A and B are shown apart, each in its own frame.
Chain A
Amino acid sequence: QVQLQESGPGLVKPSGTLSLTCAVSGGSINSSNWWSWVRQPPGKGLEWIGEIYHSGSTNYNPSLKSRVTISVDKSKNQLSLKVTSVTAADTAVYYCASQQRTSSGWYSDYWGQGTLVTVSS
């Protein structure tokens, strides 16, 4: 069973860069899965940030695309997220998830436990 673990600073200053990693265990990042990031501001709903395939192909939420970069490190079996020019609106719990694309449907089957990132001076 795939397990995902997010890590990174819990506090980022406004205008700074948010950087998170997601370690994948129990499976290979080179598998047929896509890998995604989703965030959830306190008390609000889920917002999809973007996804990456091990080849490096990416898709991003158009509302965040100019500030977001998702990458993979195959040697470490992990993926990363960077969000630049952060503001208080970027305060959220950030989740990584594995994405399945099958003939039966496209969906996120495994999720990390999430990590809270607060943007504040």
Chain B
Amino acid sequence: EIVLTQSPATLSVSPGERATLSCRASQNVSSNLAWYQQKPGQAPRLLIYGASTRATGIPARFSGSGSGTEFTLTISSLQSEDFAVYYCQRFNNWPPMYTFGQGTKVEIK
């Protein structure tokens, strides 16, 4: 089973600054990785799929990169509405299941 490890657990950033979130896979997962944003009391929202493709309606300040075992979600200039928890996710071939990382909380510095 592939384990996804996100770091840091909490990231303190000032509005307007850049945020860089990491997701590390325990095995090579090619580029089949997705990122989600979740705000308190809300369902997760898809941001990025295929490691680097922005979902419909997602602002250009969100970008994803990486392949293999190292992936990064970058928010180029944090807006007030971007303070949230971010999760990475991918599908394991065996056992056939989706795995989430434990999440990174982006908080106001």
Interface residues of A, Cβ cutoff 8 Å to B = 36, 38, 45-48, 50-51, 59-62, 95, 100, 104-109, 111-114
- In the bound complex, CA of A59 to CA of B87 (Å): 21
Beta-carbon nearest neighbor of A106 in chain B = B91
- In the bound complex, CA of A38 to CA of B99 (Å): 11
- In the bound complex, CA of A60 to CA of B51 (Å): 24
Checking A38, A62, A106 against B34 with a beta-carbon cut-off of 8 angstroms, the contacting residue is A106
Checking B51, B95, B98, B99 against A36 with a beta-carbon cut-off of 8 angstroms, the contacting residue is B98
Q: Closest 10 A-B residue pairs measured CB to CB?
A: A105-B50, A105-B49, A111-B43, A107-B49, A107-B34, A48-B98, A104-B50, A59-B96, A46-B100, A106-B91
- In the bound complex, CA of A47 to CA of B33 (Å): 16
- In the bound complex, CA of A62 to CA of B94 (Å): 10
- In the bound complex, CA of A51 to CA of B98 (Å): 9
Could you tell me how many residues of chain B have their Cβ less than 8 Å away from some Cβ of chain A? Answer: 30
Contacts of A105 in B (CB 8 A): 31-34, 49-51, 53
> In the bound complex, do residue B34 and residue A48 qualify as a contact, i.e. CB atoms below 8 Å apart?
no
Chain B: minimal CB distance from A9 (Å): 20
> In the bound complex, do residue A107 and residue B89 qualify as a contact, i.e. CB atoms below 8 Å apart?
yes
Contacts of A61 in B (CB 8 A): 97
List the count of A-B residue pairs having beta carbons below 8 Å apart. Answer: 69
Interface residues of B, Cβ cutoff 8 Å to A = 1, 31-34, 36, 38, 42-46, 49-51, 53, 55, 87, 89-91, 95-103
Contacts of B101 in A (CB 8 A): 45
> In the bound complex, do residue B50 and residue A59 qualify as a contact, i.e. CB atoms below 8 Å apart?
no
> In the bound complex, do residue A108 and residue B44 qualify as a contact, i.e. CB atoms below 8 Å apart?
yes
- In the bound complex, CA of A104 to CA of B102 (Å): 24
Contacts of B55 in A (CB 8 A): 107, 109
Contacts of A36 in B (CB 8 A): 98
- In the bound complex, CA of A51 to CA of B89 (Å): 15
Chain A: minimal CB distance from B87 (Å): 6
> In the bound complex, do residue B53 and residue A104 qualify as a contact, i.e. CB atoms below 8 Å apart?
yes
Checking B43, B51, B91 against A112 with a beta-carbon cut-off of 8 angstroms, the contacting residue is B43
Contacts of A51 in B (CB 8 A): 98
Checking B46, B90, B97, B100 against A59 with a beta-carbon cut-off of 8 angstroms, the contacting residue is B97
